[in-house]
């Protein structure tokens, strides 16, 4: 049996018996595979907000999941071919803020495919392969200016490596830690009228553990109270925080219920959006 070691600017390969596929160790000891890319939705495959056509975002507004407009807003189009989505930014910039919980202190490298330039934190814009420093537990932003952009990756080390393709379901779950969307005409919360009035305690199941107590926005939501239907008024106020798979809300509605009546929430016009974005 022979052992060979081959190194390059992108990776170090340690192979047994001359088989390069036996083990690949990249950028300081991270085994190639799930987990090296700190960017979420780097292939822009997740689009829960259903943006389309020419996307025009105000400063800080989100388009494709986990990507928001920079200080001057952002205008972009996008197209998908062979499961690769390419963003074309024509004005402004796109930012992703990486949660500090997912970062450790040390060197990081940002890579992508396309003509846009990128930067890490307050660093300078450059072509793919920009390097910077992460601080464990501290949020870190990456930003891209005008041009084409796809296959975005931030990883530990100083040398870029091949893009990590994660399964679609895994990528969606990572996005839903920060935002998820309940479509129109869907039941999404159950609870009980505990006051005998126009307020209930309702439990909403979440598809992933939320980053923080979220904001909830909607156009129109109805409450089914026993055999009555009442319009929810005001905000769905989050109470008692969140846990790994659910959150409690206090809806106020327009009809008086009886103590102990069951409550179902239903999206009647447009979606209900639950956001814990950075």
Q: What is the pLDDT of residue 32?
A: 52
Q: What is the pLDDT of residue 22?
A: 35
Residue-wise pLDDT tens digits, 16-73? 344 333 344 445 444 455 789 999 999 999 999 999 999 999 999 999 999 999 999 9
Q: Are residues 157 and 128 in the same domain?
A: yes
For residue 62 the two structure tokens come to 């989100």
Q: Are residues 162 and 131 in the same domain?
A: yes
- Has residue 6 got a pLDDT over 60? no
Is residue 50 domain-resident?
no
More confident residue, 147 or 12: 147
Q: Are residues 252 and 206 in the same domain?
A: yes
- Has residue 83 got a pLDDT over 70? yes
Average pLDDT over residues 212-238: 88
Q: Are residues 168 and 204 in the same domain?
A: no
Q: What is the pLDDT of residue 240?
A: 66
Is residue 80 domain-resident?
yes
For residue 148 the two structure tokens come to 């084409």
Is residue 37 domain-resident?
no
Q: What share of the chain is helix, strand, coil (3-state, %, to 5)?
A: 5, 50, 45
Number of domains in the chain: 3
Q: Are residues 95 and 138 in the same domain?
A: yes
Is residue 42 domain-resident?
no
Q: Among all chains, which residue has been given the structure tokens 């379901």?
A: 169
Is residue 114 domain-resident?
yes
Residue-wise pLDDT tens digits, 159-180? 999 999 999 999 999 999 999 9
Q: Which helix (DSSP H) or strand (DSSP E) does residue 182 occupy?
A: strand 179-182
Q: Are residues 199 and 166 in the same domain?
A: no
Q: Are residues 60 and 164 in the same domain?
A: yes
Q: Are residues 62 and 21 in the same domain?
A: no
In the structure, what pLDDT confidence band is assigned to residue 12 with cuts at 50, 70 and 90?
very low
- Has residue 99 got a pLDDT over 90? yes
**What is the secondary structure of 30-85 as a DSSP string?**
EESSTT---SSSTT----TT---SSEEE-TT-B-STT-EEEEEEEEEEEEEETTEE
Q: What is the pLDDT of residue 41?
A: 98
Q: Which of 132, 158, 176 is the last residue of a domain?
A: 176
Residue-wise pLDDT tens digits, 105-146? 999 999 999 999 999 999 999 999 999 999 999 999 999 999
- CA distance between the termini of the chain: 51
Q: Are residues 16 and 113 in the same domain?
A: no
Comparing C-alpha atoms, which of 190, 248, 251 is closest to residue 214? 248
Q: The CATH number of the domain where 69 resides is what?
A: 2.60.120
- Has residue 268 got a pLDDT over 70? yes
- Has residue 219 got a pLDDT over 70? yes
Q: Are residues 79 and 171 in the same domain?
A: yes
Domain that holds residue 14: 1-32
Average pLDDT over residues 210-226: 91
Q: What is the pLDDT of residue 277?
A: 97
Is residue 85 domain-resident?
yes
Is residue 45 domain-resident?
no
Instruction: Identify the weakest region by mean pLDDT among 11-20, 73-82, 84-93, 187-196.
Output: 11-20
Q: Are residues 105 and 204 in the same domain?
A: no
The predicted model scores a pTM of 0.87
Average pLDDT over residues 68-85: 98
Q: Where are the alpha helices (DSSP H) in the chain?
A: 168-176
For residue 254 the two structure tokens come to 């327009």
Q: What is the pLDDT of residue 70?
A: 98
Q: Are residues 66 and 163 in the same domain?
A: yes
As a whole-number percent, the residues of the chain with pLDDT over 90 amount to 70
Q: What is the pLDDT of residue 23?
A: 40
As a whole-number percent, the residues of the chain with pLDDT over 70 amount to 87
């Amino acid at each position: 049996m022979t052992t060979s070691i081959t190194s390059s600017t992108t990776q170090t390969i340690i192979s047994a018996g001359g088989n390069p596929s036996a083990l690949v160790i990249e950028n300081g000891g991270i085994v190639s595979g799930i987990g090296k890319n700190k960017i979420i939705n780097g292939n822009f495959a997740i689009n829960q907000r259903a943006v389309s056509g020419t996307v025009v975002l105000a400063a800080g507004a989100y388009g494709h999941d986990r990507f928001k407009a920079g200080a001057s807003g952002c205008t972009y189009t996008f197209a998908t071919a062979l499961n690769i989505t390419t963003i074309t930014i024509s004005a402004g910039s796109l930012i992703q803020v990486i949660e500090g919980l997912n970062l450790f202190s040390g060197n990081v490298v940002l890579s992508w495919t396309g003509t846009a330039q990128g930067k890490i934190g307050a660093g300078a814009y450059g072509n793919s392969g920009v390097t910077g420093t992460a601080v464990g537990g501290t949020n870190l932003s990456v930003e891209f200016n005008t041009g084409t952009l796809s296959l975005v990756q931030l990883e530990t080390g100083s040398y870029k490596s091949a893009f990590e393709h994660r399964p679609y379901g895994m990528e969606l779950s990572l996005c839903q830690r920060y935002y998820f969307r309940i479509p129109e005409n869907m039941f999404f919360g159950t609870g009980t009228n505990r006051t005998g009035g126009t307020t209930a305690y309702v439990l909403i199941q979440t598809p992933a553990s939320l980053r923080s107590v979220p904001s909830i926005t909607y156009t129109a939501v109805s409450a089914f109270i026993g055999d009555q239907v009442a319009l929810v008024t005001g905000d769905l106020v989050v109470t008692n925080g969140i846990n790994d798979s659910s959150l409690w809300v206090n809806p106020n509605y327009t009809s008086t219920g009886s103590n102990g009546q069951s409550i179902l929430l239903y999206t009647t016009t447009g979606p209900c959006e639950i956001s814990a974005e950075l």
